[in-house]
Amino acid sequence: MIRMKRLNQTIIIALLFVILTAGVFIAGCTTTSQPVNQTTDTRQKLVLATTTSLYDTGLLNYLEPKFESKYNVDLLITSQGTGKAIELAKRGDADVLLVHSPAQEMTFLKEGYGMNRRTFAYNYFMIVGPANDPAGIKGKTPEEAFKAILTQGIAGNGSIMFVSRGDASGTHTAEQGVWKKAGYDYAKEVQKSGNWYIEAGKGMGETLQMAGEKGAYTFTDEGTFLSYTGKLNIVPIVDKGTSLMNLYSVMTVYAGKPQPEKITMANNFVNWLITSETLTDIGNYGKDKYGKSLFTPMSSGVPAGVTADFTSPATETSPLKVEPAVANGTVPDAILPDAKNV
């Protein structure tokens, strides 16, 4: 009997221990689910979807604290190719879109996903490659250079390779435009036409590094290339030609369930980006490190043949309900007064 009582007492004590332990565990879980620091950041968050060429150069990191300080907002930046950035914006997962593919931008506006487009800066695309230029493209137009690379690549010249972004980015779209002007059907005559043509499916920085490792040519924006100075064993070879113009535009996103306060802050960003102070900052960025700016603001002079609105205030709070005809990336000015450049 005594032994039984002791056994019962042992069982009771064990059960109490289990209950107390479980209680501590539950209490502990509840406690750890709460933030250690009870102070929270109550600032409004603004999501900016942009292209890798703007992010890789460090320009946005440079501008970010200036905007956040002025408007007491938390600017969240996500970078990928223009095509993916646009997809993100269409899903309503971004408040501001900042890219460099006029034709894709015009379609985005036409479909009612954006407004208040302003073209604020530009630089140029370049064809870069090995210093010994195995395809002999130096001094040629971009179209002639592409033709020489393709002809020799298909012919089996093992020293000729071309690494493409291959990611539907603004740079990839511009590259396809050069192939088209050179007289080629990109999908039928360039893609998968041989081992000479490599689709990286990566951002500009990684594509440049791949081209450098392979001793290949590639098509890049000037800003990203300059930001990788000293890290690559490839050099600019063709940097002149009308098809190399690279325009950067910003716009307010109107997708998903647009919130008035987000639209207002997105418009604030557009307007802030085109102020003379910010454009001056953009024009000075990179000069101390690279000897020249990575981007030229429109306020420094609009290139010949380009019309761009970088002065009109961003005031629209919903897209214009029209379906303009789009040809070669242009939209009639009378229909979309804030989307004028090609």
226's tokens = 């300059």
Question: So what's the pLDDT on residue 112?
Answer: 95
Domains and CATH numbers, the chain: 44-123+245-300 (3.40.190.10), 125-244 (3.40.190.10)
Question: So what's the pLDDT on residue 52?
Answer: 85
Identify the weakest region by mean pLDDT among 97-101, 227-231, 277-281, 329-333. 329-333
The answer to whether 120 and 248 have CB atoms below 8 angstroms apart is yes
Tally Cβ neighbours within 10 Å of residue 62.
14
Which stretch of DSSP H or E encloses residue 299? none
Work out the pLDDT band at 41, boundaries 50, 70, 90.
low
Write the pLDDT tens digit of every residue in 55-108: 889 999 999 999 999 999 999 999 988 899 999 999 999 999 999 999 999 999
Among 99, 94, 86, 89, CA closest to 60: 99
Question: So what's the pLDDT on residue 32?
Answer: 29
Instruction: Name the maximum alpha-carbon separation found in the chain.
Output: 106
pTM of the predicted model over 0.85: no
Dist CA 311 CA 237 (whole Å): 35
> SS3 for 67?
helix
Write the pLDDT tens digit of every residue in 244-266: 999 999 999 999 888 999 999 99
Write the pLDDT tens digit of every residue in 183-231: 999 999 999 999 999 999 999 999 999 999 999 999 999 999 999 988 9
Work out the pLDDT band at 234, boundaries 50, 70, 90.
very high
Among 170, 235, 179, CA closest to 203: 170
Cα dihedral sign for 86, 92, 97, 103?
positive
Among 294, 332, 333, CA closest to 55: 294
Whether the per-residue pLDDT at 10 is higher than 80: the answer is no
Dist CA 40 CA 292 (whole Å): 41
